[in-house]
């Protein structure tokens, strides 16, 4: 009798483990996006690169790099609803970014509703 219960328990575990697969996320936003700005002041030029790395688990990594040095490094969350991507930065004093994915001859861009180009695909 113990053998039958053990066999049924093993079969139950196999069936339960097959039902917990994570669905594949093929969203076109997944990947590396960036924006490069050059600021000129009396002390000279400063290059600022802002980078977003989106992964398929609706998370990502945000970097701000000034003259080759990382000044901000943080995780972010993202979601996609009705063609609008919302990027949230928990732990940073930064408002959420709401962007849409635009395709053009120059490549893919993330654009806010006010027309500001947040990032382009790297």
Among residues 85, 77, 82, 75, the alpha carbon closest in space to that of 28 is found at 85
65-93 pLDDT, tens digit per residue, is 999 999 999 999 999 999 999 999 998 99
What is the pLDDT, as a whole number, of residue 19? 59
List C-alpha distances in Å: 19 to 15, 22, 70, 77, 83.
Answer: 7, 9, 42, 26, 30
Q: Which domains does the chain have, with CATH numbers?
A: 3-121 (2.40.128.360)
Beta bridge partners of 35: 50
What is the pLDDT, as a whole number, of residue 49? 96
Question: Beta 97-104 vs 69-81: how paired, if at all?
Answer: unpaired
**Low pLDDT (below 70) residues in the chain:** 1-2, 5, 7-9, 12, 14-22
- 8 A C-beta contact, residue 100 and residue 13: no
CB atoms within 10 A of CB 118: 19
């Amino acid at each position: 009798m113990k053998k039958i219960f053990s066999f049924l328990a093993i079969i139950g575990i196999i069936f339960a483990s097959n039902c917990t697969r994570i669905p594949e996320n093929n969203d076109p936003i997944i990947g590396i996006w960036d924006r490069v700005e050059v600021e000129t002041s009396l002390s000279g030029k400063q290059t600022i690169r802002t980078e977003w790395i989106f992964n398929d688990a609706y998370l990502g990594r945000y970097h701000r790099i000034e003259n080759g040095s990382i000044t901000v490094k943080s995780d972010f969350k993202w979601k996609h609803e009705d063609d609008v991507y919302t990027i949230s930065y928990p732990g940073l004093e930064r408002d959420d970014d709401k962007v849409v994915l635009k395709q053009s001859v120059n490549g893919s861009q993330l654009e806010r509703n006010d027309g500001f180009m947040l990032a382009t695909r790297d």
